Amino acid sequence: MTENKFEFPKEMRAMAEASFDQARQAFEKFVSSAHSAAATIETRGESARASAKDVSAKAISYAEQNVAASLDHAQKLLQAKDLGDVMRLQSEYVQNQMKSLAEQASEMGQIVSRAAMEAAQPKS
Quote the domain boundaries for residue 46: 40-116
pLDDT for the residue 98: 93
Q: Is the pLDDT at 46 greater than 80, yes or no?
A: no
Determine, yes or no, domain membership for 21. Answer: no
pLDDT digits (tens, 9 = 90+) for 48-81: 667 778 888 888 899 889 889 999 998 898 888 8
Arithmetic mean of pLDDT, 11-19: 74
- Does residue 109 fall inside a structural domain? yes
Residue 93 included in any domain: yes
CA-to-CA separations, 15 to 41, 49, 59, 92, in angstroms, rounded: 39, 43, 29, 14
Quote the longest CA-to-CA distance of the chain.
83
Total domain count for the chain?
Answer: 1
Examine residue 78 and state whether it is found in any structural domain, yes or no.
yes
Question: According to the model, what pLDDT value does residue 44 have?
Answer: 58
0.85 cut: is pTM over it?
Answer: no
Q: Is residue 19 part of a domain?
A: no
The pLDDT tens digits of the residues spanning 31-40 come to: 777 777 766 6
Residue 30 lies in a domain: no
Residue 88 has pLDDT above 90, yes or no: yes
Question: What sign has the CA pseudo-torsion 86, 31, 115, 56?
Answer: positive
- Residue 74 domain-assigned (yes or no): yes
2 belongs to a structural domain: no
52-66, 78-92, 109-123: least confidently modelled range = 109-123
Residues in the chain: 124
pLDDT for position 25: 78
The amino acid sitting at 56 is: S
